Structure 1
Amino acid sequence: MDRSSLPPVGLCLDMCPEKERKEREKHQRLHPLEIQNGQPVGKKIRRGKYIIADPGRMVKEYSRPAAGKELSSPSELRPPATLLKTVHYLLMEIWENINERDLANVALAYTFVFDRLRAVRQDLTVQRIQGTEGAVLLEESLGFLLCAPYIVRQLPPEDYCEVLHATQLRESFAELMDCYRGCGKFPRQAEFQALLLLYDLGNMDAINKVLQLPHSIQGNPQVRLALAINKAFMENNWVRLFRLVRQLDCLQACAFHHHLTKCRDQALRTYTHGYSSRNCRFPLDHLAWLLMLDSPLTLSDMCQRRGLGITSGEKPTVLFLKSSFKDVELESPGKEIQLVEMKKKDRSWAEVMKGEEDVHCERVHF
């Protein structure tokens, strides 16, 4: 085999190569989470004070291939063990310590972890690391990529780009599926096949690929649950879909979360057609329970935005009329007590991202 066709092998044992660390320190391109403790951060960096990097906290940043930088130098690439150490640091040291109520703190941590995980995947791709080593790295990275949109949903566009995040997530899933086609043992393959089905809800290509996998994967409770949710979605069977969604664990719920507003909107359309009558009244609190909404007041606002009437009284009801239903812009995803928060329990987000939770899926039937 021509040696020139072989992929480079990383030799850097630090989370950030020394050359990059010195260059970024020289030009003061340090992230606040990479500087030595006790130094000023943020705007003060630009006020003439020289900031010193903390070598133990610096992590290689993502570099665009078109930037003219050398991406395949062994001294600049991190081998799988170092990449795994880097991912663990980003999740267990950086993300573990964020204050979820402090949006500035969340934004700071998110932009840092997201960029550095892109750099991890870049090193992975340049070295063509696949099989078990590649799968473990991508699985841990995907834990963050699946949970982050729920956690950072209130951040402004300059701190969280939904399109860029979704692109990285889909590309990571595609590379993970390539790893699974290689040699090795993959203890979490069924778990991530199910997560892909939930994230790509209604995608027939993803469903067909899962149905071609060995029975040990197809028959896994998590995969069967995800397939059942997809089936209910494609059949517009919203009662069944939300009943099945209640069985999801926290990581799975985060993968499904971005479909919630669409599913609820489609469910209201279906109920409007099915129960359209001036004499028919549907209990508001029961409908809120069916749609997994945490408050009947939230449902009341959703219905009124769509032109559906709400009767007053001790037990408010919804009046479904096809003629009054209006198309509206979907609500922004919000905090979900039943779907996410109650399933998270007392675990940290880092633990959820790493999959450190017990999964109990009831037996589902097609």
Structure 2
Amino acid sequence: MSNTRDLNETPLHKNNNIVNEICTKGICMEMCPSEEVILRVKEKMVHVLELTRSGHKLVKCYCRSAANSNMAVPQLLRPFRVLSDTVHYLLLEISNRSNIKMSVMYDFLDDRLRAVRQDMTIQRLPPEECVVLLEPMIRFYIYYGYRLCDHPISEFDPVLNKKYLLECMKWFLNCCDVLQNTDKVEDDVDTILTHFNSLDISKTRPELSCDRILVESLYILCNLDSIHPLYRVSALKLAYNIAIANIKCNFIKIFKLSRKLCPLTFSALCLHHPMIQRRALQAMSFAYNSQYLTVPVEVLKQWLAFNSYEEARSTCMHYGLKVVKEKHGVCFNKHTFKVDVEQHQLTKYYQAKVLQLKLEDVLSYTV
């Protein structure tokens, strides 16, 4: 495998390459250190999702590091087993609460998962442990990135979500590369997953999985205009072909191939729909340039994965294309296409299977 992925070397990734340096080992065996529990209960800073019938069950918050603070305190850091229990609890139990607004749920889970990554970073957990913790986080960010894509910026920030998603992806894939270079990837991850799934916490709930091929596919589809992810794994044929079709501006092929994607990879691609549709309509304005001939709106809807006739019609009009009502068709004209207008807003594609799935469902399947 060619290691040409465009990774920015951050402390998150460098940590996995440090082998001779003494690392701080966490000894906190609870999901939230007692010191934080006492403080937050006293200050009435317990989140609604941490309230239980018997009182409360707190999970460690993300904490920004201050200039003179020492965060490498063993009593405040959770070891791998506790972190794995925490990830299970957050993504397989808390996420099932149906009485909480989705954006509130996302904010809580995002904060607590960032705290998990913070503990991982400070302790410099080995790559075989990191991949097991990071993979479900990647699914989490993809899932909510699509489910909340039409929410106002005050409730959901897609830019920040993608930042955390790519951070987790790059860290995960960097760990995989390190493991592969030492020929440990299969044995080490399988061993940890076996232990991971033998814990009591897993016996009463669905199991999380660790699927590298899925993450590699997501990495391609989340970086659709970049060629670097295409050189990584030969098994990623479908995602690879979609990316190549995009580079070659074969937009109809993109949507045709997308029907074969799994729910998560399809969701990752759907976030690019407005960009792909705009570029397709602009290309068609040159290819089908005519003052008299039209392309049926219904055909356009099928080609470019619009939800409805009306959505296809309004999008064409947004870019200055004339819709001939009598013919139910679009008259493409390269001179009238508006290249300077803002890209039309993303709307959820009703055929996206992820819209019918719970977070629990997307955390456990493999491709």
Which category describes the TM-score, using the shorter chain as reference length? Answer: 0.7 to 0.9
- The farther-off stretch of 153-162 and 253-262 is 153-162
Taking the aligned partners of 1:70 and 1:23, their CA distance within structure 2 comes to 18
1:322 matched residue in structure 2: 334
Q: CA deviation at 1:31?
A: 1.3
- Mapping 1:1-366, distance limit 5 Å: 5-37=21-53, 54=56, 57-66=57-66, 68-98=68-98, 105-181=101-177, 182=179, 183-185=184-186, 188-208=211-231, 210=232, 217-218=233-234, 220=235, 223-313=236-326, 316-327=328-339, 328-338=341-351, 340=352, 343-344=353-354, 347-352=357-362, 354-356=363-365, 359=367
Using the alignment, how far apart are the partners of 1:138 and 1:165 within structure 2?
15
Further displaced range: 106-115 or 160-169: 160-169
Deviations 1:58-115 (A, max 9, x none): 111101112654321111111112111111111111222336xxxx611221110011
CA shift in 2, pair 1:346/1:142, >3 Å: same
Q: Give the residue type in structure 2 aligned to 1:71.
A: M
Partner of 1:66, secondary structure, is coil
**2:41 corresponds to which letter in structure 1?**
E
Identity among equivalent pairs (%)? 30
Quote the Cα distance in structure 2 between the aligned partners of 1:94 and 1:256: 27
Aligned counterparts of 1:204 and 1:323: Cα–Cα separation in 2:
32
Work out whether residues 150 and 348 of structure 2, in 8 Å CA contact, stay in contact via their aligned partners in 1.
no
TM-score (norm 1): 0.83
CA contact (8 A) 2:143 2:354 kept: no
Aligned partner of 1:350: which letter?
E
Q: CA 1:234–1:93 in structure 2 vs 1: closer, same or farther (change >3 Å)?
A: same
For 1:305-331, what per-residue CA distance to the aligned partner results, in whole angstroms no more than 9, with x for missing partners?
111111113x61110011111132112
Deviations 1:266-322, CA, capped at 9 Å, x for gaps: 010011110001122101101100111110110100011111111113x61110011
- Return the letter of the residue paired with 2:237: R
SS at match of 1:322: coil
Q: Over residues 157-180 of structure 1, what are the superposed CA-to-partner deviations in whole Å (9 max), with x where a residue is unaligned?
A: 233222222211111111101210
Instruction: Give the Cα–Cα distance (whole angstroms) in 1 for the partners of residues 171 and 130 of structure 2.
Output: 9
Q: How many equivalent residue pairs?
A: 322
Q: Report the counterpart of residue 204 of structure 2 in structure 1.
A: none
Deviation at 1:251, TM superposition (A): 0.7
Per the TM alignment, residue 345 of structure 1 is displaced from its structure 2 partner at its CA by 7.7
Which whole-Å CA distance do the structure 2 matches of 1:127 and 1:302 have between them?
A: 50
| Displacement of 1:191 | 1.6
TM-score (norm 2): 0.82
Structure 1 residues 194 and 4: alpha-carbon distance in aligned structure 2, compared to 1, 3 A threshold: closer
- One-letter amino acid matched to 1:145: Y
CA gap 1:88/1:67 in 2 versus in 1, 3 angstroms = farther
Residue 4 (structure 1) shift: 9.8
- Secondary structure of the residue aligned to 2:163 is helix
Go from structure 1 to structure 2 and tell me whether the alpha carbon gap of 1:280 and 1:11 turns closer, same or farther (over 3 Å shift).
Answer: same
Q: Which amino acid aligns with 2:80?
A: P
Q: Check the 8 A contact 2:150/2:346 in 1, yes or no.
A: no
Q: What is the identity, as a one-letter code, of the residue corresponding to 1:95?
A: S
Native 8 Å contact 1:98 1:109 kept in 2: no
Helix, strand or coil at the partner of 1:323: coil
Report the AA paired with residue 70 of structure 1.
N
Name the SS for the 2:335 alignment partner: helix
User: C-alpha separation between the residues in 2 aligned to 1:251 and 1:126?
Assistant: 30
CA distance in 1, matches of 2:156, 2:112: 15
Q: Is the contact between residue 29 and residue 82 of structure 2 (CA under 8 Å) also seen in structure 1?
A: yes
Question: 2 CA distance for matches of 1:120 and 1:161?
Answer: 21
Task: Give ranges in structure 1 of 5+ residues lacking alignment.
Answer: 39-52, 211-216, 360-366
Question: In the alignment, residue 248 of structure 1 is paired with which amino acid?
Answer: L
**Contact 2:274 2:345 survives alignment (8 Å):** yes
SS in 2 for 1:318: strand
2: CA distance between counterparts of 1:35 and 1:344? 29
Question: Relative contact order: is structure 1 or structure 2 higher (C-alpha 8 Å, sep ≥ 6)?
Answer: 2
For 1:169 and 1:68, the matched residues in 2 are separated by 29
Q: Distance in 2 between matches of 1:22 and 1:283?
A: 65
The 3-state SS of whatever aligns with 2:129 is helix
